[in-house]
A = this chain, B = another copy of it.
Amino acid sequence: MDEHPSLAVSTVIFALRDSELWTPLVRRIRQPYQDRWALPGGWVAPQEGLETTAARKLLETTQLDPTYLEQLYCFGDIGRSPSGRVVSVVYWALVRPDQAERSSDDDNVRWFRADALPGLAFDHNRIVEYALWRLRNKMAHSSIAHGFLGETFTLAELRGVHEAVRGATLDPANFRRQVLAGGSIVPTGEHVVGASHRPPALYRYTDATLVDQGPLLASALTDRED
């Protein structure tokens, strides 16, 4: 009765594909929930920081290596694992399409649409739902959309991120007006290079936005020990 609970870490990764949010899952190769899909993760290593363990497990299982993981929540319900008390510290990150390409589907890793998941192991459906809720909340008042984009982007690309996360179609003219009025992005003066007759303008987030907000930027709270 006085044993400590087991401590695990897991990570929710979101990426944008074809204007929809996708997340990679890993097939469980042992009980409990053998063969079910689950979030990438594993046990906390004794001599490793939580975030470091999360990043290592993520890289080992999915080949994904996000530059920043943000802690999402610590899940500790007593009934969440049938094999004993397990407390899971969950991290999350966004990856750009070029980063996501490092992780392709195979027998044990598969990308799913974040809003159309199968029944996952443990309480992982609930965890992904919470991560989606947090993502949508953050979109409203931070530069988090940047995590899906490169350094520069078109207004159509930025609108695509908002449409994918919010699950809604946005009017291009209204979106343009609102986002430019917000002052968080500025034109770079460059345009998309290509064959188009009228190449779209490229924008970037202002430095102030990047410093203040967004889960992809290190805060005073990251616990990287490596």
Contacts and interface: CB of A to CB of B under 8 A. Distances in A.
Contacts of A5: 4, 7, 44, 46
A66 interface: no
Copies per complex?
2
Contact residues on A (Cβ < 8 Å of other chain), bracket: 20 to 34
A44 B88 CA distance: 13
A74 interface: yes
Given A87-B50, A130-B221, A220-B130, A4 B44 contact: yes
Interface stretch (A13-21, A29-37, A75-83): A75-83
Contact of A89 (B76, B85, B220): B76
A23 interface: no
A141 B76 CA distance: 28
A26 to B, nearest CB: 21
Interface in A75-109: 75-79, 85, 87, 89
